[in-house]
Amino acid sequence: MYAAQVKGALLRAAPTVPLVDLTHDLPRHRVPEAAFVFRAMASSFPPGTTHVAVVDPGVGGSRAAIAIRCGEGSVLVGPDNGVLAPLARALGSPEAFRLDPRTFSTERRVGTTFDGRDLFAPAAARIALGAPLGRLGTRTPFHDLHLPEATRSGSHARGEVVHVDHFGNLISNVPSEWIAPSALRLSVAIGGRRSSRVPWVRSYEALGRGRLGTLGSSFGTVEVAVAEGSASVRLRARTGSRLEFQWDGGGVAATDTVNSVPNLPRRRR
């Protein structure tokens, strides 16, 4: 519903600009998780895209509204709460402008100001139509949110779950490329609990239905997954859970220890 108001406002100001929904399933109030996902989503889009992100628990509060122009021509519009920052840095050469609400006053407004509809959408529409950012606001530093980074020591990494996708897969912040190419298994410890050795595979199929394992996610990081099931439920893990991975250079996979992580009682959902 709020998304519909944003889309309406975009079309009102820029009827001919193609509009694409990225997702409406982002975690509602968790800015760092949303920033992580937004970075991964939007980097697939064409250069020159104008993105609007309305993950904004501080809506109507003191945080500014900004537009960030990136080197390759994309512009990110949203609240200055950090949600835009990781993508902006990934796209490169970010320059932020603080949007002046007076520039976007509309004649026809329903109820209390909703920045997504009344500010971000009209700004994005003008930007998509070619307005230079300097006319919509003034240069500003921005909230340069840094996502938690994993650390590595030899064949051991510490990180955390930075996203739980809608299948219940646990997406970590440990780069997949850290894992030795010859590794066949990973020791996984979650939330300080006892570690277990599970397969390191290239596909859910290689894991086998209902089995727990690890693989490279489409985010470029290690993912802990249950094939056709939910690792989040199985392991009672969530965004923010600490993770440790240990790997070796490979060797023979002892199938008898596969899935030695116990089947914890399922959380009621």
Which CB atom, from 230 or from 259, has the smaller least distance to a second copy? Answer: 230
What is the Cα–Cα distance from 8 to 174, expressed in whole angstroms? 39
**Stretch in the footprint of a second copy (CB under 8 A) among 141-149, 151-159, 184-192, 211-219:** 211-219
- The answer to whether 267 contacts a second copy (rule: CB under 8 A) is no
**Stretch in the footprint of a second copy (CB under 8 A) among 44-52, 128-136, 180-188, 231-239:** 44-52
Q: In the structure, how many helices (H) and strands (E) does the chain have?
A: 8, 13
* Start-to-end Cα distance in the chain: 25
- The answer to whether 80 contacts a second copy (rule: CB under 8 A) is no
- The answer to whether 114 contacts a second copy (rule: CB under 8 A) is yes
Environment class of 208 (CB within 10 Å of its CB; exposed 0-12, middle 13-18, buried 19+): middle
- The answer to whether 58 contacts a second copy (rule: CB under 8 A) is yes
The angle formed by the CA atoms of residues 164, 166 and 169, to the nearest 5 degrees, is 45
Give the H or E element holding residue 247.
Answer: strand 242-247
Q: How far is the CB of 219 from a second copy (least distance, A)?
A: 5
- The answer to whether 12 contacts a second copy (rule: CB under 8 A) is yes
SS3 content of the chain, % helix, strand, coil (to 5): 25, 25, 50
Binding a second copy (rule: CB under 8 A), the pick from 35, 37, 123, 170 is: 37
Which CB atom, from 102 or from 108, has the smaller least distance to a second copy? Answer: 108
Site residues for a second copy, 217-256, by CB under 8 A, read 217-221, 227-228
Residues 170-189, one symbol each (x = binds a second copy by CB under 8 A, - = not), give ------x-------------
- Which residue from 13, 36, 15, 37 is spatially nearest to 24, judged by alpha carbons? 37
What is the Cα–Cα distance from 177 to 41, expressed in whole angstroms? 20
Tokens of 175: 């780069």
Q: How far is the CB of 69 from a second copy (least distance, A)?
A: 19
What is the Cα–Cα distance from 80 to 66, expressed in whole angstroms? 6
Residue ranges that bind a second copy, judged by CB under 8 A: 1-5, 7-9, 11-12, 15, 18-23, 25-26, 28-29, 37, 40-46, 49, 57-63, 108, 110-114, 117, 165-167, 176, 202-206, 209, 215-221, 227-228
